[in-house]
Structure 1
Amino acid sequence: MRSGDSGHFDQLYAASADPWNTKTSWYEQRKRAIVAAMLPRQHCTAIFEPGCGSGELTLQLAERCGHLVASDFCEDAVRITRDKTAHLPHVHVRRQALPEQWPAPAQDMPEFELILFSELCYYFDAPQMAEISALAAGSLARGGHLLACHWKKDFDDRLLATRPMHQLIDAHARLKRQACYEDEDILVDLWRKT
């Protein structure tokens, strides 16, 4: 999602600080519980959460790590998440357009032990999704994990259906699927970097 494509999301956040009701909807609460249950480690050194939206999952992830980078390409989403996490010095919220602004390794930041794609990958086409999978694999520490969770039902602005986008991640040679949860609403997959 390139920053120039953010108009639709800017409009959504202009109308509501929580356009998808991530704090109160049962689907979102249940999704966060499933994600928490599937995380393979109780605590990670560093986590990357691109597409953080309004920051509800960010708050949950912050409890499980020593360093968290959350990003979104929508300026209002970044502001909302920064406000929610201002009291957490180990959480860094950035405005980034992916894939071109994927975070580069830094001396002051450990490799990510977990990268989490939550409700994000619908908005990428297949070549972008392949590139993002490669970037994620390259940013993970050895033995690190990538978790992707996405709603399965169709909606107007998605570029990829959930199963094909997860298959593109699954096709990456350095990512080995470790776990899967699926029901009529959601698909959650966990891969380990080999």
Structure 2
Amino acid sequence: MEVVGLFGGDTVYFSNEELKRIIETKPVGDFYPYNLKEYDDDAADEYISKVVGSLAAIKNLDYKAEFEHYGSGYASYVEVFCYKKDGSSSEERNGVLEIDGIRIYICRLTPVAVIGKGRVTKHDKGGSSDFLPSQNVDVLPSGDWEEMAAGIRGVLARYHFKDLDSNYVSQPLPFEADIPTLLGDPPYKIFDALFYWED
């Protein structure tokens, strides 16, 4: 397989050097804020907030975005949980509200994203939220989600984000690395180099 840089064509591949930069929290891209020499958290989040805000135009979509690095540490991505505004993706069972939806990880370090199924639960004493593992990339919740997923992909494309597929992000990382993440263990995948959270 020929490896080309991220912006060498329509197919998205990262060179080893680009992946290493991303793991080192350095931006990789050809437009602001991804073309800066050093990472700027505020600039990245400001750009991503425009992407997230545009999701509101998608029919029947509501969302919750996590810009605060899960309250501590550093997340290389902004997580967005999208669900159906009309309540049809929610179900209450034994006092627990289960909300199915689409989880988006939007990378802060390079203009790529992944989407896949997710679930949030809420109850009297709190709730829980899952993470998006690489094996769930491109997997949608059961039911009618294709139109919403297409709308999300359209918004990502409008802001020049590449929607990575599961085949690519599930590939083994082609070099050894120390990735500061709680979300995965060695041997790492390309997914782990792009979407990591250090608490």
TM-score under structure 1 normalisation? 0.29
